[in-house]
Amino acid sequence: MKFVSLKRFNCACMLAMSIMFAGLTPLSVMAASTTSSSSNHIQRQPVSTNPLTVKVKPLFVHITSTAPRQLHLRTYTRPEFTRPEFTRPELKSGKKALAPIFTEYLIPTRLAESTGVTNGTDNTIWFSEVDGNKIGHVTSDGIFTEFALPAQSDARRIIALADGTIWFTDLNNGKIEELVPTLSLLSIYSLPAGAKPFDIAIGAAGNIWITDYAHNSIDRLSFTGNALTTFPLPTYKAQPLGIIAGADNAIWFTELDRNKLGRITPNGITTEIPLPTFASEPTGITLGTDSNIWFTEQAGNQIGRLDTQRAAVTEFPIPTAASRPLFLTSVGNPIGQIAFTEYNANKIGIVNTDGSINEYTVPTPDSGPYAITASSNNDIWFTEAHYKGNKIVRLNFK
């Protein structure tokens, strides 16, 4: 299956579910459930595949940026509370939700379709524009700057490095790219022919890691000699999507089509972990403040947590049915521990430390909440990818 643009994603997912477990030998799962969330101990078998390393030479391109500008913004205060039936029965009462404050910043470029967002070292929020063909950033005051990319770029997921550079995937062109904002300089790294790089992460050693679902591989770009190493996955047509660096110095990723999480060490040893819920479609992934791996199940309508020490998966059902959780980020108390987007439900969800979930409706109807991140002051930022939204939104609480 091909992970296509946001507009065609629903149809693609239906096709994926019809072929999910063809020809697979499932790993054993020992399940033990609780009342509203389930914990499952798992068995893992590390596998070493045959990596391929090639030299890549970047193409350097000077690009232009817009003058900083501020467009219309709207602020909403909307108190909401968790209903008792949405909390775990063993708790005496649900956690009272804080009052949310949404501030929506309209992206200057119309129909931008922003599917990536990250917190920059310059205290601004950086985001990608698939249809806008740009990379942009916005300050907490709503001041936008946009960088025009080469024609027909397809910028998707995005990360900010400590040195101030911005890295992102160019999905349909099979490239990963580095933006040096202070120089308006773009470095373009071409991947092997036919590559479809979706998500991107920075490893403990400073290497860039990418999921390539077309080649069913995890790729690593090392700056020592500009070496690109491709690690094929053991499971056929796994469709790796989300990727994050773990607290254990390994790289973790989701396998949408094969209902697994994956872990790869710096030297290429891969371990795949089956999930308890059938055809759950794990998508987004992040490292929690508890050092565990958290992920979304967009078909399972759950948020999952992998306890890396106990090798146990716990799944937290989302109160709103068919909400389609896509991506998530870790946040700190008193907000909760994990914030996530609900694309179909038009909500932002918060997983509390007690395991209950609060949900907050986004003010703009049918806005398509998609990518999400947290700033250094614990504000939540997310993108509205649907054309009815086309905003970068800040969510904080009082």
Residue 389: inside a domain: yes
pLDDT in tens, 94-125: 456 678 999 999 999 999 999 999 999 988 99
Nearest-angstrom CA–CA distance, 269 and 368: 37
Residue 141: inside a domain: no
Would you list the DSSP string of 92-147?
A: SSPPPPPPEEEEEEE-SSTT-----EEE-TTSSEEEEETTTTEEEEE-TT-EEEEE
Residue length of the chain: 398
What's the predicted TM-score (pTM) here?
A: 0.82
Q: How many CB atoms lie within 10 A of CB 194?
A: 9
Q: Which residue has the tokens 């907000």?
A: 335
Residue 170: inside a domain: no
Range of the domain at 385: 78-105+318-398
Domain CATH number, residue 369 = 2.130.10.10
Among 25-39, 67-81, 253-267, 274-288, the minimum mean pLDDT is found in 25-39
Among 49-63, 106-120, 146-160, 238-252, the minimum mean pLDDT is found in 49-63
**pLDDT of 291 above 50:** yes
Mean residue pLDDT across the chain: 84
3-state secondary structure of 307: strand
pLDDT in tens, 222-244: 988 889 999 999 999 999 999 99
Burial of 222 (0-12, 13-18, 19+ CB in 10 A): middle
**Closest Cα to residue 75, out of 346, 398, 370, 393?**
393
Residue 343: inside a domain: yes
**pLDDT of 68 above 60:** yes
- What is the separation of C-alpha 319 from the centre of its chain, rounded to a whole number of angstroms? 21
Query: Count of domains in the chain?
Result: 1
Report whether the peptide linkage leading into residue 365 is cis, meaning its omega lies within 30 degrees of zero: no
Output the pLDDT for position 22.
34
Nearest-angstrom CA–CA distance, 155 and 158: 8
